[in-house]
Chain A
């Protein structure tokens, strides 16, 4: 009888202790070598910038529309010390639709669109020391890298636009434009708000850290200032979720 009571007492003491240690481990940063981000922003390229305000074909066709665009990012960390350093690869999708115009400049019922698929490669520095050493659920990131945007402009029949050239083949409204970007982000560690869910997420899915983040990105996509390229440059505020695994 005494032996049973002793066993029960030990269990009663050990169980909260084990739970407490689990709680501590939740707040202990766990290294994730990979990260995946799902991010959203608005699409508003600076195509009209080359006209210095005289005409604005982009605004005329798309009437100030700023569609949501979505991007996926995969990061791989190479160095882990005072923060971490890695490389990131992004792919996104944007499509803005509007109306063609008549030769008099009046809006036409004909539809037209511009589709842009941005690809990016970034160097990523993630400053997560506050989180690791002081249990503050914040991390910061800095990114810089190269961009290449595939794009296609389409007419009312959803064909890629073709414009007769003065000589030779017509000019097709599709191509690619290169450039660069730089970004600064603030990441809020969500694990701190729901340790139990974080543990479950880590155990069952393998995601060791989850973040809600906001990132301001400066992108200059104009073939590095080429005089024969348009500008798909924009300054964007991204909101998204990041998962380290």
Chain B
């Protein structure tokens, strides 16, 4: 049987259809895949070097000294007086951290510098020149390895604070920490201003106190003390106050951080009534301080004394005035006949109406 003659078997079962592809088809597909793959790979490899490599996060870890004084959008942290005292007591270490959005290109240099107040740092070079007085080079390397750069440092040494008295020094200054690294988009590496870029973190040391209010008046009851005060200026940052009261001595101008044993009550208006722990026949010293937006307290205002004395609440005053009502749910008093008759009439009316309603 000729090879091209369909066999009886083939006439019953369709033979498999084999379609021949045009010559060179596989080669073209394969070459297309290879070109696309190489292009993608080249882009992926090249991308860090194409200005996509940049700091994506700046952070000071563990600097949790006071709520509300961290401004993450600007990488700015504030250390107030209370934080400063904590530094002295605990000397916490903090971790400075910069995160990059992608792995650094090869041979990316970097340096971390601290610019204390009054000094000058260049944040466009990884070295400290002689004319940059006070600028501190904390770290540097010719090979930035990985996407995160972290350095741990004692905050006391960072801020140059070593004793409690420094926290009461009215200091108001800014420390800048910056990472300087090779500019990935600089097409002409060399000794020019575009060789490096930087990312900064600011630490504001705010140890200045707001102005103290003037305590205008105190009034005492049996279990409460009313306090009113005012401010020399109406141009206040906040309307937050703390009133201190104590049977112990309070001294005008003292630092509130050193006022031990006094009760404290917050206020958001220029008056408050103190009740917590206030007892009759006692003498209390009262003073008030103002808080600024960083949580720093002014010194104590002038101190006034409040002497709690017995008072009469409404019912005591009523009885003292000769009132006859003795309380209780049931009156045992003589009820005039007229009143009783009236009550009986109303009850009778209600009963009659109810019966009529039931009949209808």
A contacts, CB < 8 Å to B: 47, 50-51, 55, 57-58, 60-62, 78-79, 85-87, 98, 100-103, 108-114, 121, 123, 144-146, 150, 153-157, 161, 163, 171-178, 180, 223-230
Q: Given A79-B360, A110-B221, list of 16 further CB < 8 A pairs?
A: A78-B357, A100-B312, A100-B316, A110-B224, A123-B349, A145-B346, A150-B329, A163-B319, A173-B316, A176-B328, A180-B342, A180-B343, A225-B335, A226-B333, A226-B336, A228-B324
- Check A78–B309 contact: CB distance below 8 A: no
- Check A161–B314 contact: CB distance below 8 A: yes
Can you list, as one digit per residue, whether each of B304-337 has a CB less than 8 Å from chain A (1) or not (0)?
0000011111111111111111111111111110
Verify if B356 is at the interface (C-beta below 8 Å from A): yes
Main secondary structure of the interface of A (DSSP, over half): strand
Verify if B17 is at the interface (C-beta below 8 Å from A): no
- Check B312–A171 contact: CB distance below 8 A: no
Once A109-B221, A111-B224 are accepted as A-B contacts, the answer to whether A101 and B336 lie under 8 Å apart by CB is no
Shortest C-beta distance, A40 to chain B (Å), equals 24
In the complex, how many residues of chain B place their beta carbon closer than 8 angstroms to a beta carbon of chain A? 53
Residues of A within 8 Å of B321, CB to CB, are: 51, 55, 57
Residues of A within 8 Å of B185, CB to CB, are: none
A-B contacts, 19 of them at CB < 8 A, read A50-B324, A55-B322, A60-B317, A78-B360, A101-B317, A102-B309, A103-B310, A103-B311, A108-B219, A110-B223, A110-B313, A146-B343, A154-B313, A157-B223, A176-B329, A177-B331, A225-B336, A226-B333, A228-B331
A57 touches which of B309, B314, B332, B338 (Cβ 8 Å): B314
- Check A85–B357 contact: CB distance below 8 A: yes
9 tightest Cβ-Cβ pairs between the two chains A and B = A78-B357, A224-B339, A110-B221, A173-B315, A153-B315, A109-B226, A108-B221, A230-B325, A226-B333
Complex: A143 Cα to B330 Cα, angstroms: 25
Once A85-B353, A100-B311, A171-B319 are accepted as A-B contacts, the answer to whether A156 and B325 lie under 8 Å apart by CB is no
Complex: A89 Cα to B54 Cα, angstroms: 75
Verify if B28 is at the interface (C-beta below 8 Å from A): no
- Check B335–A171 contact: CB distance below 8 A: no
Shortest C-beta distance, A105 to chain B (Å), equals 9
The residue on B at minimum CB distance from A153 is: B315
Residues of A within 8 Å of B220, CB to CB, are: 108-109
- Check B340–A156 contact: CB distance below 8 A: no
Once A50-B323, A78-B353, A175-B328 are accepted as A-B contacts, the answer to whether A108 and B311 lie under 8 Å apart by CB is yes
Residues of B within 8 Å of A112, CB to CB, are: 313-315
- Check B318–A58 contact: CB distance below 8 A: yes
- Check B222–A110 contact: CB distance below 8 A: yes
Complex: A209 Cα to B119 Cα, angstroms: 82
- Check B314–A61 contact: CB distance below 8 A: yes
Residues of A within 8 Å of B221, CB to CB, are: 100, 102, 108-110, 156
A156 touches which of B309, B313, B324, B353 (Cβ 8 Å): B313
Once A57-B321, A103-B309 are accepted as A-B contacts, the answer to whether A224 and B335 lie under 8 Å apart by CB is yes
Verify if B275 is at the interface (C-beta below 8 Å from A): yes
Residues of A within 8 Å of B326, CB to CB, are: 171, 175, 228
Residues of B within 8 Å of A61, CB to CB, are: 313-314, 317
The residue on A at minimum CB distance from B309 is: A102
- Check B315–A144 contact: CB distance below 8 A: no
Verify if B13 is at the interface (C-beta below 8 Å from A): no
Shortest C-beta distance, B342 to chain A (Å), equals 6
Shortest C-beta distance, A237 to chain B (Å), equals 22
- Check A226–B317 contact: CB distance below 8 A: no
Complex: A155 Cα to B220 Cα, angstroms: 15
- Check A109–B224 contact: CB distance below 8 A: yes
- Check B311–A101 contact: CB distance below 8 A: yes
Residues of A within 8 Å of B350, CB to CB, are: 87, 121, 123, 145
- Check B343–A156 contact: CB distance below 8 A: no
Verify if B79 is at the interface (C-beta below 8 Å from A): no
Complex: A78 Cα to B314 Cα, angstroms: 44
Verify if B289 is at the interface (C-beta below 8 Å from A): no
- Check A123–B323 contact: CB distance below 8 A: no
B224 touches which of A114, A156, A177 (Cβ 8 Å): A156
- Check A98–B353 contact: CB distance below 8 A: no
Verify if B225 is at the interface (C-beta below 8 Å from A): yes
Shortest C-beta distance, B346 to chain A (Å), equals 5
- Within B168-225, the residues touching A (CB, 8 Å) are 219-225
- Check A223–B331 contact: CB distance below 8 A: yes
The residue on B at minimum CB distance from A51 is: B321
